[in-house]
Structure formats: structure tokens, C-alpha cells
Structure 1
Amino acid sequence: MKVKGFFHDIKGTDRILKIRHENIERSNAEKIKADPIRRLAKELHPDKMLLEIVKIEELKWDAKTFRFHVSKSSKVKFIPPFQGGQYISFKFKIGKSYTTRPYSISSAPFEAGDLNEDKPFVEVTIKKKEKGFISEYIWENWKVGSEIEATMPLGEFYYEPLRDYDTIVAIAGGSGITPFHSMAREIVYGKLNAKMKLFYGSRLEKDILFKEEFENLQEKSDGKLQVINVLSDEDSTFEGESGFITSDIIKKYSDIEKSSFFICGPQVMYKFLSKELLDLNLKRKQVRREVFGETHDVYSFVDFKEEAKGKTFNIKVHIGEKTIDLKGYSGESVLTALEKEGIRHDSHCRSGQCGFCRSRLLRGDVYVVSENDGRREADKIEGYFHPCSSYPLSDIEIKIPQY
């Protein structure tokens, strides 16, 4: 960049505009019918694709890893590139209900590439939940050979060298280990230039997911990966840390000022860590939290209106020229009420962050979980809300997009 003088430089805009107009005059008047950039973006980020289950591996504590290839009948013919930490949104039609669920990708990005000697694949690891609407459906219906409709890649829970420090302090609980399994494999196999200190909270040693694999990865990592297992229940034979993942345990193994913190786990872990991390005096840019899906204990929030608890309200839904009346329980999200009625409403994260289910609140009042309020300030002013993270506090009237 040349600096020719104050007045000469500030007039640069005029020169650029002149060149632009000259180029327009010289250009072909025929309209461009194809947009190669838009086409490429659509190929790399497809709205929908079909994945075929090619392998199912049984893991501990009622968990399974599902391996997918791109189905031969899918219009998308390759696995879109993704980053360790991102997720897949699977689409389900169960009875009259349309619904989606996000699951973190547990395989590494390089395993989905064309250079993979084994046919390119992507994996998710899912834990079965007791009376879980979707997980029970998956256990009963997902078999080798099943075709599943999906959207990928999604999410912003990944390492970015322009933003993050060289060392990742990864804090996981339960099935929240899956995105770190993807990142760790990238690091150890030389595909991600970073280091990781992984704190993994489990109840007992037998509950540690991917235990043997993480031990092998740590041994191969040349010091780039260190795994610290923390058990909440007493185990006399365990030589690691006990209790919960506290600020003292984190300080013991980490360089706080030169690390970026990535957190993924159950909602109760988030609440506990929100207090512990205050002791570390972290900068806001140092902490990244993965979205954890819909809030299932919304009544536990102190600012939830007491008079609305346990009540059912009327919901008037406008979709194009059609109007539908349905019921919504205050303890369940507006999105859940729509799905139960068989109304298809696009949603991926189910945590108020991705914005795909963005809708207009025309009348009434909803409770929005502050931790999951991913709306822009302008949307809050104009009355837009995300049904996946909003709960009816009164009779409401809403307008949703038509699909």
C-alpha cells in the first residue's frame, strides 16, 4: 500500500467509483443466467441430503456410534466439508409430527474427505435417553441400510486460529465429549494446528466414553493432547481427579491466560461452570459454549412467571393464508407445540441460536430463555422470536414462514 499524501489518499473513493463505472460501460449487456458463487455455496452447504447408515457400533452406557455414507439416491453426492465441533441436523417424520434434532459430529473432518482410504464417512455418537422421544425412535428404527434426511454442516463451535489461542481447554460432560472427539483426532493426526487440555466429567470410570481411544490418542499426540478425567462418584481404584470440574482443577493443568475455553455438556454442568469460570477472570472472547438443545426444566428459572406454570394456552398460527388453532403447554417450547400438531417448521439447533425457526409474535407473551436468546436486537424490537427457545405465558398469536 502506497501513501501518497493525505488529500490524495482520501480521494481514493472517487477513483474507485470512476473505474467501476468504466467497467460497467465496457461490460456485456447480456444478463448472467448462472451464478457460480451461489451454486458453489449451495453445493458446500446443501439444504438437504440423504445419508445411509453403513455401520452401528455399540458403546458404553447405552450409546451408539452411527457411521454414514452419502446415499446413492441423494442429490448431494459428497459429504460437505465441516470443522471439528460442528453438528448435523437430522429430520424426522414420526406419526403426524415433523421434527429435527441436532447431533455433534464425532468423527474427524479428514475422515469425510476424498483422500480417506476407507470410503469417506461421517459419524455421530448418540446416547439413549430414558423416555426420549427421538432417541427411542432412533434405537427402534435406525438400522444398517436406513436412509436419513439431514442438513450439514451447522454450528459455530469450532476452533478458529484467527480468534482462538493455540491451546484449547475443552470441558465436557456426558455425551458432550463428542465434538471434542472430532477435534482431538484432527489435532493428533496433524490436521489442526492446536493443543488440547481435555477435562471430562463422568460419574464412574466405567462411564467414560471413548476412554481407550482417548488414551491412545494422548499417547500418539507428542504432548498436544492431555486428557484429565474427573469422576463425581467415589472410586477407590481411580487415580485421577474426583468431584466436579472446578476452577481449582482447571488451574492445576492449564495456562488460563493463553487458552481458549470450549464447553459442551448437560445443562446442569453449564450452570455449575458459570460460577466456577468467574474465578478464572476470563475474557469474554476466551469462552465458547456449545448450544445444548431445548431447555427441559424451564420452570427452574427464577424469572419464569409463577402464575403461568402448569398451564395450557391457546396458540393461533398464521401460515400464508391458512390459520390454525392449537394448544401449547407453558413447560414446552412453542416449537414443540407446533410439531405435535403436525406443523412443519424449519429448525436446526433447537437452542435459539441458528435462527432458522425465526417467527413473528403478533399477540401475547412468551418467556425466552436468556441463555438461548440468539435474536438480534432489531428482532426483539420488531417482535420476532425463536419458537425453539420460547415458552407461552399467555394465549398467543404468531406468524411462521410457509414451507
Structure 2
Amino acid sequence: MTKINCFLKDVSGASRVTKKREEAFKNASGDNNYKDPINMVSRMLHPAPFLVTVSKIKDVSKTAKKYTLVPIDGFLPVFQAGNYVSIKYQIGNTITTRPYSICSAPYQAKLDNPYFEITVRNTLDGFISNYMYSSVKEGDTLTVEMPFGHFYYEPLRDSNNIVGIAGGSGITPFYSMAQEILNGTLDINLTILYGSISHKDIILYDELNEITKKTNKVKVIHVISGIDEELYDNDEKGYISKDIIKKYSIDNAPKNGKTTYFICGPGSMYSYIKGELEALNVPLRRIRMEALGNPKDISKEEGYPIEKASNIYKLTVVRGIKEDIIDARADEAIAVALEREGILIKTCCRSGECGACRCKVIDGEYFILKGDSRRATDKRFNYIYTCHTYPLSDMKIKITII
């Protein structure tokens, strides 16, 4: 009998629970006090685009300026030395973004008055770099989104002896690392091999010198390629060859194996340095390469049908029930065509890595640069990254409304 009563009590329990739930609803407050700790942490680490003020602009070479950016609301997300920021611009009808390596140190974003810095090198054909130089002033406001990228030290993966190979403005993530090392918040040994034509081209020269005077954990070797250029103490002549790389590598690092190599610079440097490292039998697992960006001349890329390079195609853009037809040049990425027409599309890396500009191809032919990083399912169902894809015919695509 006891078992039967217990059974009947159990099977009737649902009604008792329902009654208690109804009473709880009746007596509950009308205020929504729901909190999701996971989402809260996620928003702090990866916030929506936010506004910053340009508080200071400083020349750091004859062709480069450093911009100090301060958040208007006083908050900066946590980032790692080597991450990048995406900055949004509107110039006329064109809405575009550009990624910049953060050249300040992560600890500076945690100060009572947090800030971060980027360094921009002016180039003759640089649409945004020219705009930054001519139009962006101290006190201006910019829209940014951060942090992004995988170009940072990971102790589970990398040796604590790093050789950084840099060219041009590719020095900026290494400057961030160097400051973090000096602050004691990054425990690695960093040797930077910095290739330049002359000392006049070196970015952040004085700033790097100051760091090397204060710590023996950071070394900077300038590799000067100019024929008639004078060499200073610790300089090397020529290009960053396998012999120079070997000279400054540590074959038997005390932690996590041998030297890890980080590479950041112009596109022409990547394939050359990769070849030099291959000649030294350095496995790919010990090589880190920053996102490269797109080539200036797509017609020179392997596999590109050069006869189509001068063509202009019609691109039908579907957003919900709205359709627009715009011109798209065969020698420019699809993202550029969209931005020129003021069609909003989320872009971050502009190198075909992050997938922010992913869209569905409904119809048409296209060319994707070597190093296609799309997922297998994206390839199967005809999704592309517009920043890394070029039209080879009239096309129809579907993009996300933002």
C-alpha cells in the first residue's frame, strides 16, 4: 500500500508543480531581471562598433604617422599584442573599412585613461592612407571595431623565443609586443629583423631604440638594402636572407622547442621569406604570418584569366526583397564594388580570413585568390568572402542586411 501511495503521489506531481509555477508567475515582479553571464562576457570581449576620439597624431617616420585613439565611453576591450582593429570610413558615397595592427600595448588599454594606437604609412595610391593624412585631425571621431586576428604569441603553441620578420609598416605589431615585454606582461624574448631600403624609411625608429635600451629581452636588427646606405651598429646589409635569419635564431630554445617566426610586411616579402625559411627546413607549425590583404594587380596572380582583367560586369545585389544592380570591375574585389556604391557590408580583415563579408552567390563566375580559407560547407553551397573574390562574369549575390 505504501508503494502504491508513493506511486500515485509521484504521477500527480506534475499538477502540484504547475500550481506552484502559476503562483510564482502571479507573485513575480514585472521587471525583467534576466542576466546571461556568458553573453555579458562575450559582449565585453567583442563589443559592437564604438566611437573613439583622435587625441594625438605624431610623425614616426617621413612617411608614417601614429594615431592615439581614446574611447568616448571610456571602455576598451581586452586585446593581445598582435591583434588588429577595423576602422570604418565614409568618404563621399563610399563606405569602407580598413584593418590596422594595433601598435600600442594591451596593458595601455587597461589604464585609468585607456587608449590604443595605430600607425599609418602614406602611399602614393593609398585611398584611405591619403585620407588619413589629409583629412583626419586631432579631435576627430572614428568608428572602430576590435579586436581581431590571430597574429599573437600563444604559449601552448609557440616558443618563448620569437624572431619577428618585418618590412615597412609591418613593424607595428612587433612594437606592440615589445612594449608589452618591457612592461613585464609578456614573457618572451623577441628579436626583430626589420628590412628597410634606408634608415629614412624606418618606422618607430626612436621608439624601438628606447625599448632596447631598457630591456635585453627585445633586440632590433635593421637590415638595410639600399646600395649606398651607411650601416650603423648592429645593422645588417642586404635582404633578410636565410643566413641572417639563422644567425639570429635560437636552435635550442629552453621552452616549447625551437624558435617561432612571425612575419608581417608587404606582400612581396611573404613568399620570399617563406622560401628562406623553407631553405632552413623550418616546419610550417613554427611560422606565423599576418593577414596579407589583396594584391595591387590581380592580373598577375596565379590562375587569374588576364584577358578579363579590364572587363566591367553587372552585379545584382539582393538584400531581403530589395535588389540593386551595380557595376563591378573584374580587377577589384566584390567588396570594393559594394562599398563604392554605398552598399553596407561588414568587412574586417579584407584578406579573406575572418569571413565577416561572407555572402551567397546565386549566379555567376568568380575568381578567388590563392589561400582560399572558406569552410568546406561554404565552398559546397557557393558562399564567398567578397573581400577576396573577383567577378569573372555578370553575377547575382545575396548579402546580409546590416
Per the TM superposition, whether the score is higher than 0.5 is yes
Structure 1 residues 196-275: aligned runs within 5 Å = 196-222=190-216, 224-239=217-232, 240-256=235-251, 258-275=258-275
CA offset digits 1:349-381 (Å, max 9, x no partner): 10011111000111111111113x221111111
2-side partners of 1:236 and 1:277: how far apart? 26
Q: Which has the larger displacement, 338-347 or 129-138?
A: 129-138
% identical equivalent positions:
40
CA offset digits 1:108-131 (Å, max 9, x no partner): 11111135xxx3211111011113
Other-structure match for 2:3: none
User: What runs of 5+ residues in structure 2 fail to find an aligned partner?
Assistant: 1-16, 26-31, 252-256
Answer whether contact 1:63 1:127 (CA < 8 A) is retained. Answer: yes
Report the Cα offset of residue 225 of structure 1: 1.3
Structure 1 residues 154-233: aligned runs within 5 Å = 154-222=148-216, 224-233=217-226
TM-score w.r.t. the length of structure 2 is 0.88
Say how many residue pairs are matched: 368
Aligned-residue CA RMSD (Å): 1.8
Answer whether contact 2:332 2:390 (CA < 8 A) is retained. Answer: yes
Report the Cα offset of residue 141 of structure 1: 2.2
Other-structure match for 2:331: 331
2-side partners of 1:354 and 1:302: how far apart? 22
User: What runs of 5+ residues in structure 1 fail to find an aligned partner?
Assistant: 1-24
Q: Does 1:106 align with 2:107?
A: no
Aligned AA for 1:131? D
Other-structure match for 2:93: 96
Answer whether contact 1:295 1:389 (CA < 8 A) is retained. Answer: no
Other-structure match for 2:383: 384
Relative distance call for 1:362 and 1:57 in structure 2 (3 A) is same
1-side partners of 2:225 and 2:302: how far apart? 27
Report the Cα offset of residue 135 of structure 1: 1.3
Relative distance call for 1:312 and 1:236 in structure 2 (3 A) is closer
User: Match of 1:258, SS?
Assistant: coil
Other-structure match for 2:281: 281
Relative distance call for 1:236 and 1:343 in structure 2 (3 A) is closer
Report the Cα offset of residue 158 of structure 1: 0.6
2-side partners of 1:365 and 1:284: how far apart? 33
TM-score w.r.t. the length of structure 1 is 0.88
2-side partners of 1:188 and 1:234: how far apart? 34
Aligned AA for 1:55? K
2-side partners of 1:277 and 1:398: how far apart? 40
Report the Cα offset of residue 159 of structure 1: 0.6
2-side partners of 1:275 and 1:331: how far apart? 28
Aligned AA for 2:96? T
Other-structure match for 1:147: 141
1-side partners of 2:378 and 2:241: how far apart? 37
Q: Which has the larger radius of gyration?
A: 2
